[in-house]
Amino acid sequence: MKIFLLFAFCCLVPVSSASPRRYEAIFNFGDSLSDTGNFLLSGALAYPVIGKLPYGETFFKHPTGRCSDGRLIIDFVAEAFRLPYLPPYLALSKGQTPRHGVNFAVSGATALDKEFFNEPKLRSLLWTNASLSVQIGWFKKLKSSLCTTKQDCDNYLKKSLFFVGEIGGNDYNYHAFVGENVVQLKASVPLVVEAITKAISMLIEEGAVELVVPGNLPVGCSAVCMTLFQSPNKADYDSRNGCLKAYNAFAKYHNNKLKDALQTLRLKHPHAKIIYADYYGAAMRFFHAPKTYGFTGGTLTACCGGGGPYNFNYSARCGHTGSKACGDPSTYANWDGIHLTEAAYRSIADGLINGGFLTPSL
Ligand SMILES: *[C@@H]1O[C@H](CO)[C@@H](O)[C@H](O)[C@H]1NC(C)=O
Ligand SMILES: *[C@@H]1O[C@H](CO)[C@@H](O)[C@H](O)[C@H]1NC(C)=O
């Protein structure tokens, strides 16, 4: 008993309790890959099922508004820096000062403002108007409650980590859903990248110094993409992972344009540390070697869905009648056809923090 107690006490003391926190706060902007509740709090009209189980069944044991079974990349990043999980901006009560950071991400959000989706077919698809610039506006509004004088703000924000993205994926998704092909999608890449770089510049003007800017995931490996764009032509699939080559090439195209733009920004703002987060590369590790990463259920088939070759059925999406979740989401990379499982997000976060998928590293 004594030995047990001693053991228990020794291990309750955090190893690095003597060292100061690396960051005071994390501020996050993005879409469903990092939304910890804003979309649900805003009503989630386009996707109410995220407000009920099986969403949230892992770890939290209840739905939180995260589009996954459990934690997201941003949750694992907060854990790694010993900060609390970021509260969603829309959950803050008046006068609350979340000194350790806030999450502004909204599921379905786009990098470009809603005016870019005015065409009726596109407009009806748009889940939210809370584009990246709207989220930055929320940050500016909140800033005065976080710090007061310019010097106070500069000191505080210098010690904060800013995550800008992943964002932009939905700008392309909406266009793809109305039937645009990969060649047509490429036309919007410069605009999307420009919206992201504008947001970064605005944050730097506000006092941000360390910024992480994630690229897009290998969308050609997602169950929704594999289902909607399945092809009878074997040559359309990558023999190394079974994914759709054209859509992964498109994700890489966006990522390369984004990396080029970040390089230009670094020259413009030499005092800032602008870090590219390679979500694509970190995720590709498990698409190439699923079993090595524990994904014995597979990486291309969704854990939760209503049938079909990749368990994605638009009329029986995860959470709707006719769908069901797999027994053990930790053995699947894909959660609901569109989003990844906690296990997959954990693996990507580990790739960022320990695996060399941040350039430059933190
Ligand atoms: C977006 O804004 C328009 C008004 O500009 C509004 O009619 C629409 O309902 C909003 N959409 C969402 C999803 O909030
Ligand atoms: C998709 O879901 C609908 C509605 O539940 C069902 O009728 C249909 O059989 C499903 N399709 C497949 C391929 O499982």
| Whole-number CA gyration radius for the chain | 20
pLDDT beyond 80 at 18: no
Catalytic residues: 32, 336, 339
Ligand 1 atom at minimum distance from 127 CA = 13
Alpha helices in 58-216 (DSSP H): 73-80, 120-123, 132-146, 150-158, 169-177, 182-185, 189-206
Query: Which pLDDT belongs to residue 19?
Result: 62
**How far apart are the C-alpha atoms of 54 and 331, rounded to whole Å?**
16
Alpha-carbon gap, residue 67 to 50, rounded angstroms: 6
Is the CB of 315 within 6 Å of ligand 2? yes
Ligand 1 centre distance from Cα of residue 129 (Å)? 6
2-219+244-289 fold: Rossmann fold (3.40.50)
Q: List, in order, residues 6 or more apart from 244 with CB less than 8 Å away.
A: 220, 221, 225, 226, 229, 231, 236, 237, 238
Banded model confidence at residue 230, pLDDT cuts 50, 70, 90? very high
Q: Is 129 in the pocket of ligand 1 (CB under 6 A)?
A: yes
Q: How far is the CA of 196 from the centre of ligand 2 (A)?
A: 38
Nearest CA to ligand 2 atom 9: 307
Q: pLDDT grade, residue 201 (50/70/90)? A: very high
> Among positive and negative, which fits the CA dihedral 29, 337, 172, 119?
negative
Quick one: which ligand is closest to 305's CA? 2
- pLDDT (0 to 100) of residue 9: 43
Ligand 2 probe mutation, 313, 314, 318, most atoms within 8 A of CB: 313
- 83 touches 161 (CB < 8 A): no
Which residue has tokens 């470009």? 112
Q: Say how many Å lie between the CA of residue 124 and the centre of ligand 1.
A: 10
* Cβ atoms within 10 Å of 25's Cβ, excluding its own: 20
φ, ψ of residue 18 to 5 degrees: the values are -75, -25
Domain-wise residue ranges, the chain: 2-219+244-289
Identify which of 230, 301, 315 to mutate to test ligand 2's pocket (most ligand atoms within 8 A of the CB): 315
- Does residue 11 have a pLDDT over 80? no
Contacts of residue 270, Cβ cutoff 8 Å, sequence gap at least 6? none
Residue 309 Cβ contacting ligand 2 at under 6 Å: no
Q: Cα-flanking dihedrals φ and ψ of residue 358, to 5°?
A: -115, 135
pTM value surpassing 0.85: yes
* pLDDT tens-digit map of 89-123: 999 998 788 999 999 999 999 999 999 999 999 99
